[in-house]
Amino acid sequence: MNAAESLSSASGSPEPAITSTTTSTDTRFRGKTIVITGAGGTFGRAGCLYFAQRGARVAALDNNFDALTETVQLVRKECQASAEPYVNKRINGFECDVTSTESVDAA
C-alpha cells in the first residue's frame, strides 16, 4: 500500500493523490524544521509526508498516540529509499494536546 492508499483507507473517503516519490527537486524546506499539529489525521499525515520528502525535519504532534505512530512509520517507510543521510531522523513524533500548555511543555 502506498502513501495515498494508506491515507485514503484511514479516512474511509478518497483523498487527494499524494506522490510516494521519496526524493524531490524542491529544496525550499531542506534544513528547515516544520511543526505539524494533528499529525495523526489525514491532512496532518499528508503534510508530514510532503515536508519530509522535501528534506525538512518534521516535529509531528498529536494527542492520539496510535495515529501519530502510524504517521511516523509511514513517513519513515516512504523516505527510506532516499540516499540522504539521517533519513529516519526526518520525523519525530510527540504525543501531546496542543490545547494544554502543560502537555506541550512535557512534549
Residues 20-75 pLDDT 10s: 444 567 778 988 999 999 999 999 999 999 999 888 999 999 999 999 999 999 99
Of 86, 88, 74, 13, which Cα lies nearest the Cα of 40?
Answer: 74
Looking at residue 83, its pLDDT comes to 57
User: Is the pLDDT higher at 41 or at 1?
Assistant: 41
- Grid cell at residue 46: 499528508
Phi, psi of 35, rounded to the nearest 5 degrees: -105, 125
Q: What is the pTM of this model?
A: 0.73
Please check the confidence at residue 10 and state whether its pLDDT lies above 60: no
> CB of 78 within 8 A of CB of 96?
no
How many Å apart are CA 41 and CA 21, to the nearest integer?
21
| Overall average pLDDT of the 69-93 stretch | 81
